[in-house]
Structure 1
């Protein structure tokens, strides 16, 4: 391969890499929104996250919804699901579970979460709307499809 062909190949590869990752200049700061707008002219919402929990567990999850689909959801069900998160004890329980305390006994030992009966009451409420599920042997987990939405909900509260 001569020099001109090699240069052409390098330029092709650089162009492909630039398209594969978001640009870092100010013009493309909103790369995800730009992609959604181009993909779906009516609008869409993208939830995505990837990384490692404090326990070292890897998580990756994404979902995309059209605006119409997101607004068409059963609002009573959505309100119930969000209301369960409105309790600071329940948010602390979720945080403790994400941080590795997975059994009711471990959770009942955390100061400020209440008695074992109160902890179980909150765990049942979280499980009833899908924020938790049992992983066997009395262990609780935030399901993979709920972890990123939980993090998004918490991030949405920042002012």
Structure 2
């Protein structure tokens, strides 16, 4: 076999290897990914799921999947307000506090560095409008159970 034949054979074998799906590094660790791979065709999908028992006793269980084509082809600008609502230190602190249980604006204003009642109400309005908070009777606010796992997913996604 000539060198050019060996090179051509090697290139064919490498190309064949590159076409094979690569196994997940550790199926015990990546069990959710294995399940997603079994269900999603090309070009793939994104899955987030979670279970959390909050300090106030509420339980959040959530799962959502989206196809890569839908995500990459969608209008990302429609999500700016929802993301922007998280982009303020006071709002993040309010959300964190409200995952512990419902509270009124007056109770939330007592947190160190929260500012005036007008500032607190401004932040609460932003979070309610974006869907991160819900209003309850008696002027109380809480993080809706359906938003807990998405919120924790966003926070997990930005960790370095």
Which TM class, normalised by the smaller chain length? 0.7 to 0.9
Structure 2 contact 59–145 (Cα < 8 Å) conserved = no
CA distance in structure 2 between the aligned counterparts of 1:105 and 1:55, rounded to whole angstroms? 19
Distance in 1 (CA, whole Å) between partners of 2:62 and 2:138 is: 26
How far 1:107 moved relative to its partner? 0.3
Change (3 A) 1:36 1:65: same
For 2:92, the equivalent position in structure 1 comes to 91
Distance 1:136 1:63 in 2: 29
Question: Cα gap change, 1:79/1:128 in structure 2, threshold over 3 Å: closer, same or farther?
Answer: same
User: Once superposed, what is the RMSD of the aligned Cα atoms?
Assistant: 1.7
Match of 1:146 in 2: 147
Partner residue in 2 for 1:11: none
5+ residue gaps, structure 1: 1-24
Residue 113 (structure 2) aligns with: 112
Partner of 2:158: 157
- Kindly state the Cα deviation for residue 71 of structure 1 after the two structures are TM-superposed: 2.7
Whole-angstrom CA distance in 1 between matches of 2:73 and 2:113: 38
Q: Would the aligned equivalents of 2:101 and 2:142 in 1 still touch at CA under 8 Å?
A: no
Higher alpha-carbon Rg: 2
1:130 aligns to what SS in structure 2? coil
Secondary structure of 1:118 counterpart: helix
Indicate if the aligned counterparts of 1:131 and 1:143 stay in contact, CA closer than 8 A: yes
- Residues 73, 147 of structure 1: CA spacing in aligned structure 2 closer, same or farther, 3 A cutoff? farther
TM-superposed deviation, 1:27: 3.9
Cα distance in 1 between the residues matched to 2:115 and 2:28: 48
Q: 1:22-33, aligned counterparts within 5 Å?
A: 26-33=26-33
Pairs aligned (count) = 135
State how far apart, in whole Å, the 1-side matches of 2:157 and 2:114 are.
Answer: 24
Higher normalized contact order (CA 8 Å, seq sep 6+, divided by chain length): 2
Structure 1 contact 101–107 (Cα < 8 Å) conserved: no
C-alpha displacement at 1:101, in angstroms?
4.8
TM value normalised by structure 1: 0.78
The 3 A distance-change label for structure 1 pair 110 and 101 is: farther
